[in-house]
Amino acid sequence: MNWPQLDWHQISMWLTVFVLGYFIFLNLGYFTLNLIALWSLRRLRQERILDNLPQAWSGLEPPISILVPAYNEELTIAAAVRSMLQLSYGEYEIIVINDGSRDATLAVLLKEFAMHEAPETYRLQLPCNTVRGIYRSTQYRNLRVIDKENGGKADALNAGINASRFPLFCGVDADSILQRDSMQQVVKPFIFDGAVVASGGTVRIANGCEISGGFLTKVNLPSNPLAIMQVVEYLRAFLFGRLGWSNMNGMLIISGAFGLFRKDVVIEVGGYRKATIGEDMELVVRLHRILHAKGRKYKIQFAPYPVCWTQAPEDLKTLKNQRVRWQRGLAESLTSNLGLMFTWRPSVAGWMAFPFMLLFEFFGPVIELGGYIFTFFAAYFGLIAWQVFGIFIFIALGLGILLSLSGLLLEEMSFHLYPKRRHLIYLMLAAVLENLGYRQLNAWWRLIGMWRWLWNSKSHWGEMKRKQH
Amino acid sequence: MRNISFDPIIAVAFWGGVLAAALCLVVVLEIAYLRWALLREKRQEQAFRSVWQSLLLQALLGNAPATLPPLRKHERLFFLRLWIQLQESIRGVSASAVSAIAQSVGCLAFASELLNSRDRSAQLIAILSLGHLRDASCWQQLSRFLLADDSARSFSALRALVQIDPARAARELSPYLLIRADWPLPRLVSLLQTEVQLFSTPLMQLIQESEGEALEKALRLANALHLQPPLKFVRQLLQQQQAPNLLAASLRIANLPQLLPDVRALAKHEDWRVRVQVAKVLSNIGLPEDVDVLLTMLSDRQWWVRYRAGQALLELPFLERQRLNELAQTLDDRFARDILHQLLDQVG
């Protein structure tokens, strides 16, 4: 039998065209999201005059339980809680969940806030590891601490939900820096629309900013180049991308650093899933899947004004751990909710957002890195012309830079948080340089995350180098 | 495999790259232009405020300036923004003095003009301004925004109309309170609290004419504004065959001693939201014989019912703390004992 002779040249060219097409569609997808985000931002900007007026609060705004999972946060937990106690909101409670810390986190809380162990009926609405004690502050009536056996962030949040008293809960990272009006901003979707079940707050990069008393007092650009690139990355991918999806009710992730949820709905879908490292995304995807399957009218929205600031990694090792963890979380979230994709009753979440995430975020690192490596070696071995390789690099990088710059453009049109001229210049430089190594490095780390997910390696949060404010 | 020429594809890719590069340049220039425009506007506004802020503050303090500098066309929006911000924070004589300044520079005319603008933010500024100017001639113009497709403009229009003529707004606009589902209850309450006397009669009428979701919203509004519908009507609402959410909403306005038997009859309703509201009502109007009802509710299968029943017991004025402690010791049900101990510890 004669095997057909393979034309490696043709195959190589087709593969090159495929990768090229992939890059084009990826960037076109994000551009489209940016355009949708732009429309939404325009409407929000038009209403800015209302936000700047003194707000009259009726006391009927829904009360909120702020849940703060804490693990080994002895250096920063007291300051974090103090700042949360100063939030400008009608009625709220703070529940810190000490997730089996090995340092003095609990001792710090008990001392700083004059807490004593109080009898409390604890409802096990969601499974969680053993709760060792519940403490109440004698100084702040709206502050409690749950001390429990270590079980991870998801487990800690479930424990917090069990103890919470209010219909909305807000999961906040212990190192998140909030603004005084953060709750007012993130609760707005719930006030204006009864169908909203979750609302994500915008997370911005706190590196370089001035912080006082646990609050951000002045916005500044980081001095660390890695952090500056993350500023651009956050604008491109996390801010405007999510806002675009939110407009279509297709947002599949709410940052674990700051998200507001309807408690009854989260309990209905089973709470946070313990066996996942990306518990924030997994919950939101599951909300979409289950609520859509039940035919319920629901919305998951995004509050685009900055409400939460967080420290971004400034060294490669910590950044790598973060990105490996995120990719693993993405993989877990998508694969455990495949039922959302292409449901018989169409939805943006199931027919657009989910396939988009799968194709461009989940498989993205494989195709992106694979594309670079393949085209290089194809050109090296003469299967494609070097000219073709050059054009591929030209368009891949060109579109990437254009997308990063478009994120900056949207920032300039809407929030302009970075007021100085040199900020703008550094950001524009970062938008270019981000595509010359940083994105590729990220793709490599995401590939590692996928590999670890495939082989079910134990993934860990790593140690984030804390700075005391 | 048939050989295909990739030259056209490669050519398209190349020119696509060129286009991307050109767009990058355009975007950079646009960013630079936006920054320049923003800085220019900020400078202009700062220059404007350095003059007008002190003039308006003088008026606020009762020393209205005899003459005012001319207001240039490009400064009108700056003026309106500054003036609105001031007006939102002041009342009475100060507000009138500041309004007089706005009138003298022709605010009414250019705010009315802005109302017809296609720019949404300009329309919002105009609506807010006309509300503060309280000129009745703008009534018709503002009314058309009540049915605007977005809640920002429609609610702002409602607010402005209430400011201009509260009595007329109460007579003519009350139905909109229930029609517009996108007007959030907390904001409505904040607005109507200032003119609750005027809105009470139309609202009571609306309550008696509404049903379903509209009725539920109306009841919640009445409760928030501390309005009391007629006894006979509330008694009708508390009939057991009503939908649970309507029963729960009705119980919020059932704080009349004459309604106690109707309230008690709902203490064992199958829906926990109704039982929670029963506990709340009993905390307000309960009698000594209701202590047993509340003690029974401490053993409810729903935590919230137990919690509210416990709170109700603590709030009953005739039940002393010591007596409650004694009662807690006698409870057989572990859940009842636990919730009462928790609440007793909470209040200290």
- Report DSSP letters for A54-123, one per residue: PPPP-S-SPPEEEEEEESS-TTTHHHHHHHHTT---SSEEEEEEEES-SSSHHHHHHHHTTEEE------
A185 within 8 A of A89, measured Cβ to Cβ: no
The interface predicted TM-score of the complex, written ipTM, equals 0.87
Residue written as tokens 């650093």? A257
Answer whether A58 sits within 8 Å of B187, measured CB to CB: yes
Nearest CB to A119; choose among B120, B189, B338:
B338
User: Which residues does chain B have within 8 Å of residue A193's beta carbon, measured at their own beta carbons?
Assistant: 182
Stretch A82-93: mean pLDDT:
93
Q: What residues contact B29, with CB distance under 8 A and at least 6 apart?
A: none
Query: Tokens in use for B111?
Result: 């705010």
Is A100's pLDDT higher than 70?
A: yes
Residue B150 Cα, gap to closest chain A Cα (Å) = 10
Residue B216 Cα, gap to closest chain A Cα (Å) = 14
Cα separation of B101 and B55, whole Å?
A: 9
Cα separation of B127 and B206, whole Å?
A: 27
Of the candidates A139, A161, A165, the residue with the CA atom closest to the CA atom of residue A148: A161
Element of type H or E holding A96: strand A92-99
At B89 the pLDDT is: 85
Q: How many helices (H) and strands (E) does chain B have?
A: 19, 0
A130 within 8 A of A102, measured Cβ to Cβ: no
At B249 the pLDDT is: 93
Is A259's pLDDT higher than 80?
A: yes
Q: CB distance from B34 to chain A under 8 Å?
A: yes
Task: Quick: pLDDT tens for B17-50.
Answer: 999 999 999 999 999 999 999 999 999 999 999 9
CA of residue A337 relative to chain centroid, distance: 18
Q: Which amino acid is at A342?
A: F
Stretch A95-105: mean pLDDT:
97
Query: Tokens in use for A379?
Result: 């050109």
Task: Quick: pLDDT tens for B67-92.
Answer: 888 888 889 999 999 999 899 888 88
Residues (pLDDT < 70) of chain B are 1-5
Stretch A120-135: mean pLDDT:
92
Q: CB distance from B25 to chain A under 8 Å?
A: no
Answer whether B10 sits within 8 Å of A191, measured CB to CB: no
At A465 the pLDDT is: 47
A129 pLDDT tier (thresholds 50, 70, 90): very high
Of the candidates A202, A197, A285, the residue with the CA atom closest to the CA atom of residue A238: A202
User: A43 vs A261, which has greater pLDDT?
Assistant: A261
At A4 the pLDDT is: 60
At B292 the pLDDT is: 93
At A2 the pLDDT is: 54
Minimum Cα–Cα distance from A9: chain B residue? B3
Is A19's pLDDT higher than 80?
A: yes
At A448 the pLDDT is: 95
**C-alpha separations of B274 from B248, B251, B304 in Å:** 5, 8, 11
At B1 the pLDDT is: 42
Query: Tokens in use for B346?
Result: 């909470």
User: Which residues does chain A have within 8 Å of residue B185's beta carbon, measured at their own beta carbons?
Assistant: 58, 60
At A468 the pLDDT is: 46
A252 pLDDT tier (thresholds 50, 70, 90): very high
B87 within 8 A of B99, measured Cβ to Cβ: yes
Q: CB distance from B40 to chain A under 8 Å?
A: no
A271 pLDDT tier (thresholds 50, 70, 90): very high
Pairing of strands A143-148, A131-137: antiparallel
* Structural Rg of chain B based on CA atoms: 30
Average pLDDT, chain A: 90
